[in-house]
Amino acid sequence: MKLTGAEIIWECLIREGVDVVFGYPGGAILPTYDAMTKYPQIHHVLTRHEQGATHMADGYARASGKVGVAIATSGPGATNMVTGIATAMMDSSPIVCITGQVGSRALGTDAFQETDVTGVTLPVTKHNYLVTKTADIARVIREAFYIAKSGRPGPVLVDITKDAQQLTAEFDWEAAAPKLPGYRPNLRALPTEYERALELINSAKRPVILAGQGIKLSGATAQVLELADTARIPIAVTLLGLGVVPASSPFNLGMMGMHGEAWVNQAIQQADLLIALGMRFDDRVTGNLKTYAPHAKKIHVEIDPSEVNKNVHVDVPLIGDLREVLEELLPKVRTSDRGEWWAKIAEMKGDSAVRDIQALPDNGHLYAAHVINDLWRATKDRDTIVVTDVGQHQMWEAQYYRHEKPRSLITSGGLGTMGFALPAAIGAKFACPEKDVWVVVGDGGFQMTSCELATAEQEGIKVNVAIINNAFLGMVRQWQEFFYEKRYAATPMTGPDFVKLAEAYRLNGLRCDKRAEVNSTVKAVLADKRTTVVDFVVEQEDAVFPMVPAGADLDAMIRRPKREILAESGADKEWQMPNGESAAVSELTLTGGPSKAASVPAAKRKPAPSLKKKSAETSKKSSRPVVAKATKAGKRR
């Protein structure tokens, strides 16, 4: 049948299984928007910014495992999408972005709202297209979806000229099937490489599995747990890998890297074998490459050959789909005890436990870690997706919210995009309307895309927004505190009254500045049917511990001071080990934990930055006028 190019776009989207698209109209994409009225089976979400549209498509893709779709016009509409496209590229998220372009005869003339968006996005897309002929639209869109979701997923941009949308052509879905002879996303490892990998796994004394989000993308959680159980191998998890194995699993050590748990990084540095599964040895994971895991052989299972040996030289690469590779390996992996290795790890855990801020009793101050931990406790029995922004709150969420399922955490890991959380959460809610969706965001990042509250209100959806408000660009401030002698240049930040801002969008707004009220506040949010914004007013100069300074050795961590107050509070915990044994913190401290800290005279201990007091006046005001005055006067707070 003969259709316009605009109609062909919608016909293709329907056949690709698309039920929602996120976009913002404009002149060059107007034929496509006009044709949209004929296709009510696809819901269009009008965003407030094209960047928001790409983040929503990204959040939809990460929550559902399907391809997300964003639409925008030419010129500024298309360039506004670049941040969202780059975010999806860095985190291997499958989205297809469709942009309108000026008419084909006007290309290259600097016509109104013309930008070479395929040139602009070339480095941040898996592939992109400029379509000038109507007859090519169906084939290109089919290829775009195939490329986006096959192999290592990623974003694809399709730029279509206005005349190509307006003219007609024969639409034949079957004839437009992808034919990409040069694209080989389904590579397989060689038998000799399997043999070498098995030899290393079966002979290792101190192995560690490094679990990345490739496990989620491949659906290989069960196979990873079987490998860990059979061979008694501990699992360290990347930021994007949180949830790929349950936090409650006795094999799950926790997050690795710059703000990972100290014992996890220590275990990696002492390992004699690293089994990297669907992760890419990011610099935030490895620290100083010259000293990274110096005693370890390395196996890297990866679907993208370009990632192998890019940052870390590996001894055995296994290229291919992660689940298929593990299913090939598992029958030949020998059972093992590795009790000595687990005992060593338990010893390292004991040392870290006495530094946990959760051991602090309520001293009248609200710490961000407390908010995250209490949020987890209040929502752990519900089916919840948490979407974070980027900064200190992101790391606290990773440390104190215990994710049990894949796709329960959505965050910008690679690009570190502030402003990601709220629009990505809206996309996640469209993907999973039956789930609770929480946004955990700093006051800085929230102000970058808070306009999307209007999108949530217009669509009548409910996302729960927890602003971790410390009146700072918190992570930058932390770096200034640690490495720039507390010169807080351009990091103190005032904001609007977030409660009134929510109300201005006809949404619900709450404020909480006491630890004892976090739980009741979360319950009030869950009881309200509207999108609710909570302004959690937290300590201003708290820091994320541990921290590996950029470029430092992985185990050269800045750590939270040990606290004898743990013993005073009567708090105790038990660490469950895979061999069924358990050890209480009080027992583990015999290895050198809090007993040593308690023996150091109080006067000689360095106070934790998080314990600095602020005035009662400041703590009760959401807009932090004291900060504003100090900034204007050129003074450090």
Q: Which residues are catalytic?
A: 50, 112-113, 162, 475
Q: How many CA atoms lie within 13 A of 399 on its CB side?
A: 27
Amino acid at 57: A
d(CA 346, CA 353): 10
In 3D space, the residue among 6, 8, 272, 58 whose CA is nearest the CA of residue 163 turns out to be 6
Annotate 284-303 with b (16+ C-beta within 10 A) or e (fewer).
bbbbeeeebbeebbbbbbbb
Instruction: Give the alpha-carbon dihedral of 450, 452, 453, 455, to 10 degrees.
Output: 170
* Helices within 354-440 (DSSP H only): 368-379, 392-400, 421-431
DSSP annotation of 28 = G
Structure tokens at 95: 């989205």
Output the CA torsion 415→417→420→421 (10° steps). Answer: 90
Judge whether 405 and 382 are in contact, CB under 8 Å: no
User: 421-431 vs 50-64: helix axis angle to the nearest 10?
Assistant: 50
Residues 500, 504: Cα–Cα separation, whole Å: 6
Structure letter (DSSP) for residue 547: B
Q: What backbone torsions phi and psi does residue 468 show, to the nearest 5 degrees? A: -90, 95
φ and ψ at residue 490, rounded to 5 degrees: 60, 25
Count of CB atoms within 10 A of residue 37's CB?
Answer: 9
Length of the chain: 637
Q: How many CB atoms lie within 10 A of CB 354?
A: 26
Q: Give the residue carrying structure tokens 């006046």.
A: 617
Helical pair 339-353 and 262-270, crossing angle rounded to 10 deg: 150
Q: Do 278 and 254 contact (CB within 8 A), yes or no? A: no
Residues 565, 361: Cα–Cα separation, whole Å: 8
List the one residue out of 250, 275, 238 whose CA is nearest residue 345.
250
> Hey, what's the torsion of the CAs at 315, 321, 324, 326, to 10 degrees?
40
Pairing of strands 20-23, 68-72: parallel
Phi and psi torsions of 98, nearest 5° = -110, 125
Hey, what amino acid is at 231? A
Helices (H), 450-491: 453-459, 474-483
Contact 462, 435 (CB under 8 A): no
| Distance between CA atoms of residues 456 and 46, nearest Å | 10
| Per-residue CA distances from 261 to 237, 326, 398, 494, 543 (Å) | 10, 27, 10, 32, 14
